[in-house]
Each structure stands twice: as C-alpha cells, then as structure tokens.
A and B are shown apart, each in its own frame.
Chain A
C-alpha cells in the first residue's frame, strides 16, 4: 500500500483481556516504531525495530506489553491482561532506515484507538 496501515482502527476490550494490534509498514521500510498517545498527552515512544530485531524497547511500560516483527514487514503489539490505563491511541510509524541519516523521515499510520472497559 501507499502508506502505513494499522488494524483494527478501534478496539474495545474488557479489563484483563489480551489484545493484539497490527501495523503494516510502507513496503521496503526497514525501521518500524510504536508510540502511544494517551488522552490529552503527547506521544510516548514504546519500541522500535530494525528489521526483525528490537534494539530499543525502553518505552514499553510493563512486561504486559510485547511486540514482534516478522519478515521485516508486519509488526504486532500485544498487550496482555489489559488495564484501564492502557486505553490510548497506539500509533505505528515506519522509515526507510533507522536514525536520521540522509534526512530519514518517519511516516505514521492512522492509529488504533484502544478502549479498556
């Protein structure tokens, strides 16, 4: 596709359930990033992938959060035993390569709005 896509666009779940959020980056982009945007706040970095490896997971808020990437393409962010404070918009971005060499730019998807009841 032309841009970064994410699914589902909206997810409502009950507290304690597990959820999976999917990101399809722009084809050929080797770097993939996950961010979280809680209501009224800026975006927080969660994790980034270079290829299928995650050199920086420093933003994952707890061990309930995990992510993987396969085929240097699609990525899945999994939240186990969801809590109400996990309610947020989860945004994915991809770039041709990591870092900023050559003016590298991150392109963002539309996000998944997660609501935990």
Chain B
C-alpha cells in the first residue's frame, strides 16, 4: 500500500546535539517530498522540499534533508539542535500522478530538546 512512514513517534535530544528524523515512503514512482514543522499553537511551516536534482536539500532554520532513492527515504537532519526546535515534524509527499497537489502526511515525530 502507498504510505508515508515516520518510524519515530517521539525523539529527545540534548541542545547542541545533532538530529536526524526518519521518513520512508512507499510509492511506485518517487513522489515529491516535503518536511513541515508544527510548533505549539502554530500552523505548519514548510522546512524544505525535494522535487528533483541534487539529493541533498537545504531548508530554513539550518535544516537539510537527503533523498535516497535506493532506501525510499527522505531523512531530515540538523547538525546542532536549539531549544526552539522543539516541535512536531511531519514528512509529507505528493504522488507524481496527483494533479491537485494534495499532501499525504506521515504520522509525525515529536521532538523534545533537553537543556
């Protein structure tokens, strides 16, 4: 079945430590790939997106993500986490056949940051 999976429901990292959030997808053709962040009481904000080209994508707030076709993954990374990064992170895809562009989301990963 077509799906987007975020294996980690909750991750805790120390401030200043590196971060990697996992995302795997299951689609016949590589979909368009996105990471969104949702801070408490806020709407979703786009961190970065991958449509084609360079498989390492830079986003806002110091985040990057790497597309790996062989692993059907699009993991989000940040070298040094700040306390303000505590939030919920959603991986999302748009299947290439979908003309309307509706997003299909993973379940989300909640990030906590220890001082």
Contacts and interface: CB of A to CB of B under 8 A. Distances in A.
Pairing of A with B? yes
Interface of A: 3-4, 31, 33, 35, 41-45, 48, 50, 55-56, 59, 91, 93, 95, 98-100, 103-111
B103 to A, nearest CB: 7
Given A42-B90, A42-B106, A43-B90, A50 B41 contact: no
Contact of B101 (A3, A43, A99): A99
B101 A100 contact: yes
Interface residues of B, number: 26
Contact of A99 (B43, B99, B106): B99
B32 A100 contact: yes
A50 B69 CA distance: 32
Interface string B78-102: 0000000000001010100011111
B104 A103 contact: no
Contact of B43 (A41, A48, A59, A108): A108
A103 B49 contact: yes
Given A98-B99, A107-B46, A108-B45, 15 more contacts: A42-B105, A42-B106, A43-B90, A45-B102, A45-B103, A48-B100, A55-B99, A59-B102, A98-B100, A98-B101, A99-B100, A105-B46, A106-B103, A108-B44, A110-B42
A100 B51 contact: yes
Interface string B36-70: 10000111111001010000000000000000000
A91 B94 contact: no
A23 to B, nearest CB: 11
A83 to B, nearest CB: 23
B102 A48 contact: yes
Contacts of A103: 49, 51
Contacts of A91: 43-44
B72 interface: no
B101 to A, nearest CB: 4
